[in-house]
Structure 1
Amino acid sequence: MQFLSNFFRACYLSLVLVSAGNCQDSNDLAVAANHQDGPYANSDTPETESVDIKKYKLPKIDLSHWKLTLPVGKPTEVEPPEILEYATNEVVRPYFYNDSTDGSLVFYAFPNSTTANTKYSRSELREQMVPGDNNVNWTFEQGGRMKGTLAVDEITKDSDGKYHRTIIMQIHGRLTNEQKELIGAKDNNAPPILKIYWDKGYVRVKTKVLKNKSASDQEILHEEAWGDDEGYTFPDYVGFKKFKLEVKVSKGKLVVIMNNTEYAVYDDVNIKRWGIFENYFKAGNYFQSKDEGSYAKVKFYDLEVIH
């Protein structure tokens, strides 16, 4: 009798443990089902495929100080706090979404809607020091740093069989309201002092230079006072692999660092005179093509701004 009692007790405990395990599995599946990916991610559901929740990864990016511009609408812009719900926003998801297989945030862009003063479309983040406000920015004297880990995942080729280009990071200038009124500008737009391109598998840096080094402080507020430098291309080929970029700004100096080993340093008169402008960081996929059927996907695994 004691043997049978122990036997039935063991059977009962086994059933309890199995039920508990099934409940835990159900909870894991519910979490996985609620995880939102973009339309290009695996569409299998927990009902048709076994899900290991540990395989899901998320990008290490705080979006609370970023505004998003999309390649659709007039164009469509999404500010904090709305941007924090990007994973469930049906307008945003085709162009800005998680790839949970590798923990990246995907920026998808193609030729379509453009912003004022531009001719190309973008899926790109714009820094907002005060969430929802474009009027609070920073100067080179105040300084700042942006760093990220990213990769170009897909990009089309032109009619000559060469890959299209895209801008992956920027520092954009901005006129204060007082400067805007002083020169009679129609808006607060100023040139971008820094553009970093993915260019046929290489990282290429472009900055602005004064056409007339003797121009007055008022004269250099005009966009036409600035031209493009010859550019600098980092020698290491990144292709479609993951790489790191860091941009460091201080009074009279701009430094771009790739993979913690390669440096491009700018500390000449052009950078020093640029100190008159306010600035903000940008990151994402500013796609440099208007070819029909062209597109690019850029992945960011982490992105951080420090002031």
Structure 2
Amino acid sequence: MIKQPMKYFQKAVILIGVLTFSSISIQCQSAGSAINHPSEKDLNSDKKYQLPDIDLSHWKVTIPEGEGKGGAISVEPPKILDYANNEVLKPYMYNDSTSGALVFYAHPSNATTANTKYSRSELREQMVAGDDDINWTFKKGGNLKATISMEDVSRDKEGKYHKVIILQIHGRVTDEQKKLIGQKDNNAPPILKIYWHNGKIRVKTKELKFLGTKADGLLYEEAWADDDGYTFQNEVGFKKFDIEIDVSDGKMVISLNNNEFKTYDNIHMEKWGVFENYFKAGNYLQTTDEGAYAKVKFSKLKVSH
């Protein structure tokens, strides 16, 4: 008579265990669901820590540190890849992990590059890492895409913002061309300068002074003059903007936010084919005013040839 109730008691214990296990399983599944599907708050929190979409393996940087004119410090690959831990670079090139941008800071300094009075915190393209001697021509072509914003910039005595060159295509003569014209370095004029100018994007290029100039004469800087320049209509201010430079044989096209375009397709571009070129990107502050400064942010920077 005792065995029968014991049998029912054992069944009850088993039933309670099954129900308890099921309850625990449901709770675990619910918890697992929460882990696999983060809340909107968590997603937004993750977005606060971002890195710029920039590969620096084919860029060197020049900063306004060094010993006097022509002595500005440059850092090439592979050392530039560790810029976040480089104590010399840190003040002038650093991550803004909140917006996912690489910031370039510049101020007037005695440490400049050889052919200018202005300071820069600027990248220089190297098609072969660590080598300035291998560059590209218009015939080979080149494309640069960047997402940029002006974070902060000083004003002059009249209250206008100081100008900053944010992108360039710089010319270069080969060693053979340098010997031919008796020049001491490989420097050639920049065929393109793109400025942030009072919240707008302004473009400057070069034109031949005399269209009949012979081939050798094209190599002299004195053969070229600045054009009148072009200012895009849309104001970018301190907001992000996309810019693209596309170069092909005898042609150069600059686009702003993919809805405004400036095309150079003329004899000057054809003649420019005599030079080699390289892209530059960053912060080339166009003033020596005391106390001046600028901070330029690059979220994306991509080059192809």
**TM-score of the two chains, using structure 1 as the length reference:** 0.83
Shift of residue 55, structure 1, vs aligned partner: 2.3
* Cα distance in structure 2, aligned partners of 1:134 and 1:83: 15
Q: Deviations over 1:91-135 (max 9, x none)?
A: 101000000000000000000121011110000000000000000
Mapping 1:173-188, distance limit 5 Å: 173-188=171-186
Match of 2:94 among 94, 97, 106: 97
Query: Which of these residues, 281, 302, 305, is aligned with residue 304 of structure 1?
Result: 302
Q: Secondary structure at the match of 2:179?
A: helix
For residues 142-221 of structure 1, the aligned pairs below 5 Å read 142-221=140-219
Gaps of 5+ in 1: 18-51
1:1-307 matched pairs, under 5 angstroms: 55-73=48-66, 74-112=71-109, 113-307=111-305
Aligned to 2:40: none
Q: What letter corresponds to residue 55 of structure 1 in structure 2?
A: K
How large is the RMSD of aligned CA atoms in angstroms? 2.1
- CA–CA distance in structure 2, aligned partners of residues 229 and 286 of structure 1: 20
Which residue of structure 1 lines up, in the alignment, with residue 39 of structure 2?
none
Give the 3 Å change call, closer, same or farther, for CA 234–54 of structure 1 in structure 2: closer
Distance 1:54 1:200 in 2: 30
Cα distance in 1 between the residues matched to 2:268 and 2:157: 37
CA distance in 2, matches of 1:68, 1:152: 19
Show structure 2 runs of 5+ residues with no match: 1-12, 29-44
Residue type of the alignment partner of 1:95: Y
Count of residue correspondences: 268
Q: Cα deviations across residues 227-251 of structure 1 (Å, max 9, x unaligned)? A: 0000000011111110011000000
Q: CA deviation at 1:261?
A: 0.7
Name the SS for the 1:270 alignment partner: helix
Secondary structure of the equivalent of 2:65?
A: coil
Task: Tell me the TM-score normalized by structure 2.
Answer: 0.84
Indicate the SS of the match to 2:64: coil
What's 1:23 paired with?
none
Superimposed CA distance per residue, residues 193-228 of structure 1 (whole angstroms, 9 cap, x where no aligned partner): 000000011100000011111111111101111100
Q: Which amino acid aligns with 2:104?
A: F
CA distance in 2, matches of 1:104, 1:118: 28
- Find the residue that maps to 1:207 and give its secondary structure: strand
- The CA distance in 1 between the partners of 2:245 and 2:157, in whole Å, is 33
Deviations 1:278-301 (A, max 9, x none): 000000000001000000000000
For 2:216 and 2:48, how far apart are their aligned partners in 1?
56
Structure 1 runs (4+) greater than 4 angstroms displaced: none
SS at 1:275's partner residue? Answer: helix
Distance in 1 (alpha carbons) for counterparts of 2:266 and 2:130: 34
The CA distance in 2 between the partners of 1:279 and 1:55, in whole Å, is 37
Cα deviation digits, residues 75-99 of structure 1 (max 9, x gap): 0100000000000101101000000
CA distance in 1, matches of 2:118, 2:243: 23
